[in-house]
Amino acid sequence: MHTGIRVAIIDDHDLFVRGLELLLPEVSDGRATVVAATGDAAYAASVVRHAVPDLALVDLHMPPPGGLRAIGAVRRAAPRARVLAMSGDDDPAVALEALRAGAAGFLPKTSDAADLLQPLLAAIGGWVVLPDRLLAELLSRDRHRVAHPAAESLSAPERRLLQLIAAGSSTLEIAARTHVSERTVKRQTATLLRKLHVSSRAEAAALAGVAGLL
């Protein structure tokens, strides 16, 4: 189990940020703490670069440059940090945009504080995090795309790689399981993402679920 989870919050709602600062340590028995926060999406990169968080929570509905741009900035400034997008609603279209921007998952801001710890741990552990109801709606909306042309054209090794990515396996773990070098895994992953017409591992994992490859 992870200990000492460092959380950065990119959100312009002061009361929400303050609430998480107080509640996260309480519901996690001190294991999760907010180490930095900003209400200006333009400063997201600077904040995470200095705070070095394990996880960044980013509100999607922020003034320009906005939450989606902030996600990209955080990913570039702190590539080891996981990013969870948050929003006051659970619109599937918004969630998909967050995944495409590089988020490792999506949580509605209506979530109870007591229910936040497991999603945070799951995200840090490499999993894509989506609420059950939202995942069901995404799958329902995209049911007509189950026979995804790109997914259907994958070779057996590519399907295996996609399944490992969707399971949250790291590059090192995939290399060990497939008996190739980390460099080879990175090259194969880049090729797979291009073939699937997606821009991130999280989006590839979501497509794998829609295409029934898990």
Q: Over the stretch 199-211, which tens digit does the pLDDT of each residue have?
A: 888 888 877 776 6
- pLDDT tens-place string over residues 128-162: 888 777 776 666 655 544 455 666 778 888 988 99
> What's the structural domain count of the chain?
2
Average pLDDT, the chain: 85
User: Which residue range forms the structural domain that includes residue 171?
Assistant: 144-210
Do 19 and 111 lie in one domain? The reply is yes
47-56, 81-90, 146-155: least confident range: 146-155
Alpha-carbon distance 207 to 29, whole Å?
35
Please say if the pLDDT value at position 1 is more than 50: no
Do 135 and 29 lie in one domain? The reply is yes
Do 123 and 183 lie in one domain? The reply is no
Please say if the pLDDT value at position 47 is more than 70: yes
Whichever domain contains 71, its CATH number is 3.40.50.2300
Percent of residues, the chain, with pLDDT higher than 90: 43
Q: The whole model's pTM is what?
A: 0.66
Do 154 and 118 lie in one domain? The reply is no
Alpha-carbon distance 54 to 52, whole Å?
7
pLDDT at residue 63 in the model: 92
- Mean pLDDT for 40-61 is 96
- pLDDT tens-place string over residues 13-28: 999 999 999 988 988 8
Indicate the length of the chain as a whole number.
214
Whichever domain contains 160, its CATH number is 1.10.10.10
Do 169 and 78 lie in one domain? The reply is no
